[in-house]
Structure 1
Amino acid sequence: MRADARKNYDQLLAVARQVIAEEGAEASLRDIARRAGVGLGTLYRHFPTREALLDALLRNGFDALARRAAELEAREDQGAALATWLREAVAMTHDYRGAIALMVAAIGDENSALHGSCTGLRAAGTRLLHRAQAAGAARADMDGNDLFALISALAWLADQPPLVPRADHLFDIITGAILTRQ
């Protein structure tokens, strides 16, 4: 990629991250291009669809979260590792307001630009869940789909103004329901 094209690409991603955090996943692509100081055609050359832009934004976060899961697998306390990762996953999901429905849909749609990123992240979380289950630290009747449904629900709750003050408390309740007492 040429240097000027790389600069435009990076600028579009930085601005899109900010705009989506402010306005949600349905933010105006025209506004993103304008705020990035490029034309709409430049945005579409780099990201032909909204989903392609979201994929580029989410891929970095998902990859970092998958690496974080691998780091946490080395912890002795697998229940604490799962809870730490779950909190980080909820926070990252919340940062991309409005993308939850797209992420959930992408897991089941192999043609989605987001499919690979979403399934990779789900696999990393599922490995943490399985390790916690094998250690007797997490309930055995859950699977990765349940875990990701809870991540989506907790991220949604944290985006509801009347519930924001209770988000940490609700997270603790859900985590308490997942982790077993030893």
Structure 2
Amino acid sequence: MNHDYLWRIREGLPARGQIGILNRSHYEEVIAPRIHDDALKDEMYPEGMDKDEVWPMRYRQINDFEKHLSENGFKVIKFFFNMSKEEQRERLLERMKDPEKNWEFSFNDVKERRHWDQYQEVFEDILSNTSTEFAPWYVLPADDEWYSRYIITEVMVDCLEKIDPQFPEISDEDRERLDEAIEELENEKN
């Protein structure tokens, strides 16, 4: 591989003054490899490192990366959709049985569901090791979609109020150019 496991996230970061929403992220690199026990088979992983040493190192790297973002003015907010096994089953069955929702279904969802208990252990480990003051996790009661959306809305509104985004101010030079452009368009003949 030509990149480390954080490269896609760095590439996808918003520019200053923009907001980015990532659906999934670098956290996938500390989930699936553990479930499928292929942590040391990929060349993205440190050569010769004991499997049990990889995850604490990754958590530290993720925390360092998120702290770097925070210290440089990028607010990091993380939501974890905590869904019960029964609710997931119901939603999968609905997607499978409703022809209008078949497009939402992936056979891989059923395959991965077979590892439910392992996923829960990994999720707990990740949340415990990567929720920080500068980049907290918000664990959402995902069985209740309305309430989860409510919590997300409250967290995001609070964040935006603290950030207090403002429209950029136009420079004197650009103001002159703008006035000229307005005059040009207003004087344009139809």
Rg bigger for which structure? 2
Which has a greater percent of strand? 2
Query: Fold-level match, TM-score > 0.5?
Result: no
Instruction: Pick the TM interval, shorter chain.
Output: 0.3 to 0.5
Higher fraction of helix? 1
TM-score, structure 1 as length reference: 0.35
